[in-house]
Structure 1
């Protein structure tokens, strides 16, 4: 990080970390959050929605004194509901121009996609380009998930070879791998770690970081239609306060281990907060 930029950010970090819980009634109604299958970030078990990103939202609701309702959707359906204004809030989402039309992005974590490949398929790849050129496996992708332009370029090459299948969620992708009906997918650590354990695939797949998938910001989207600007500011400040005081790293650490939790919120949150300050 640039030293002068860091000097500007540090006072903000101290202010956010020290901010008290907010007691003013800013909620037009209970917050309606949307969730979908994102591994340890959000999952459904015994009809209860849980996960690291869900715990972040619950802590946000606690700090802002806002009741919170959480509804479960397939990933693509979640964004359709969000676009119609029926969802106030989503979490663990990557930023896109389309999503910016309907909401305000507030990052609180980082993420990256790895190639998860069945060991039944030969090959060891350091890039998706190598996978395209020298591999033979078909890649299962999930509807509603955003990938970098570099990843999408290689995915298009795979489509031309007839090596792409699209499924509704990660649970389907990994169950297909467990039943030997699929060979590969792209997923972040927070997602594949849960599904590999649930399907018994830990020793049957290889996880390969690929150069086309650099770390990107992920976080919450606050609805422009469902939340007034003043309310969005309160929620954004509270979320960034959780980044600054280490709460987000600790929450994720409960699910992925302390070291991984800290890695997902690099530089004690400074990089995430500085990125938010530079958003248009």
Structure 2
């Protein structure tokens, strides 16, 4: 499955203008976004996370020089689409995004619903939540959640029951102050969040889509990353998967129990 995803990422998205030859990778402008265990400040104040460790390892293996910035997810997608940014991380492919970017998957995961703990049992199903007009959900603007979740969110959005926030921190705040009754989050987000915000005993974590793991990948702007460099990154990610480096990175940031769920078979 892992090799199939990588090959499909290349075939679906033919690349545009070449800025560097196959012998040299050169500088690549890459934007991170802050989110849970993917990219966060450690106790020492330095930035760390799954995405940073993956990019650092890619730099070591490929010789590419990544010039990194921290941006909002909304600005990242806008800059990738307009040709102002070379690359980003942990993105989900959609037909619209594949028009301007290709994706190199390096982990898979799925969203869980975090439900306000005081709600009645009937709220713990998608249909039960929809049936109560006063219930609202908060999501990060521009995020895709995969499978049935996006259909469910669209139904709520049509009723004016979706709050869209700029980042995950703002989404969590909406839940804490009672503006919404549920949020969607990946394990890479909700595991550290429940601990940091002392919410473990105040929310229910519901797995509404257990078979809906969604690949997340490096996002390469078609018009800015040449095919030889894309191929080099594909080979490096494959090698990191095969030699256990990716699994070790996942364990470092979310623990051994959940790490194996992120690994693409």
Aligned-residue CA RMSD (Å): 2.6
In the aligned structure 2, how far is the partner of 1:188 from the partner of 1:135? Answer: 25
The Cα shift of 1:65 comes to 1.6
- Tell me the residue number matched to 1:19: none
- Tell me the residue number matched to 2:7: none
Secondary structure of 1:248 counterpart: helix
The Cα shift of 1:127 comes to 4.2
- Segment drifting more, 211-220 vs 93-102: 211-220
Q: Please say if residues 36 and 74 of structure 1, whose CA atoms lie closer than 8 Å, have aligned partners that are also in contact.
A: yes
Secondary structure of 1:97 counterpart: coil
- Tell me the residue number matched to 2:141: 143
Q: Pick the aligned partner of 2:78 from 77, 80, 95.
A: 80
Q: Pick the aligned partner of 1:65 from 51, 63, 66.
A: 63
Q: Please say if residues 125 and 210 of structure 1, whose CA atoms lie closer than 8 Å, have aligned partners that are also in contact.
A: no
Secondary structure of 1:206 counterpart: strand
- Tell me the residue number matched to 2:39: 42
Secondary structure of 1:207 counterpart: strand
The Cα shift of 1:208 comes to 0.3
Q: Please say if residues 167 and 173 of structure 1, whose CA atoms lie closer than 8 Å, have aligned partners that are also in contact.
A: yes
- Tell me the residue number matched to 1:120: 118
Secondary structure of 1:165 counterpart: strand
Q: Pick the aligned partner of 1:199 from 174, 193, 197.
A: 197
In the aligned structure 2, how far is the partner of 1:150 from the partner of 1:246? Answer: 32
Q: TM (normalized to structure 2)?
A: 0.84
- Segment drifting more, 101-110 vs 120-129: 120-129
Give ranges in structure 2 of 5+ residues lacking alignment.
5-21
Q: TM (normalized to structure 1)?
A: 0.80
Q: 1:143 to 1:47 in 2, by over 3 A?
A: farther
Q: Pick the aligned partner of 1:187 from 182, 185, 193.
A: 185
Give the total of aligned pairs.
248
- Segment drifting more, 231-240 vs 188-197: 188-197
Give ranges in structure 1 of 5+ residues lacking alignment.
10-23, 272-280
Q: 1:74 to 1:44 in 2, by over 3 A?
A: farther
Q: 1:244 to 1:134 in 2, by over 3 A?
A: farther
Q: Please say if residues 36 and 73 of structure 1, whose CA atoms lie closer than 8 Å, have aligned partners that are also in contact.
A: yes
- Tell me the residue number matched to 1:103: 101
Q: Please say if residues 138 and 174 of structure 2, whose CA atoms lie closer than 8 Å, have aligned partners that are also in contact.
A: no
In the aligned structure 2, how far is the partner of 1:99 from the partner of 1:162? Answer: 26
In the aligned structure 1, how far is the partner of 2:92 from the partner of 2:123? Answer: 25
The Cα shift of 1:240 comes to 1.5
The Cα shift of 1:194 comes to 1.9
Which contiguous aligned blocks of 4+ residues in structure 1 show a shift greater than 4 angstroms? 44-48, 124-127
Q: 1:94 to 1:213 in 2, by over 3 A?
A: farther
The Cα shift of 1:87 comes to 2.2
Secondary structure of 2:223 counterpart: coil
Q: 1:233 to 1:94 in 2, by over 3 A?
A: same
Secondary structure of 1:182 counterpart: coil
In the aligned structure 2, how far is the partner of 1:117 from the partner of 1:27? Answer: 46
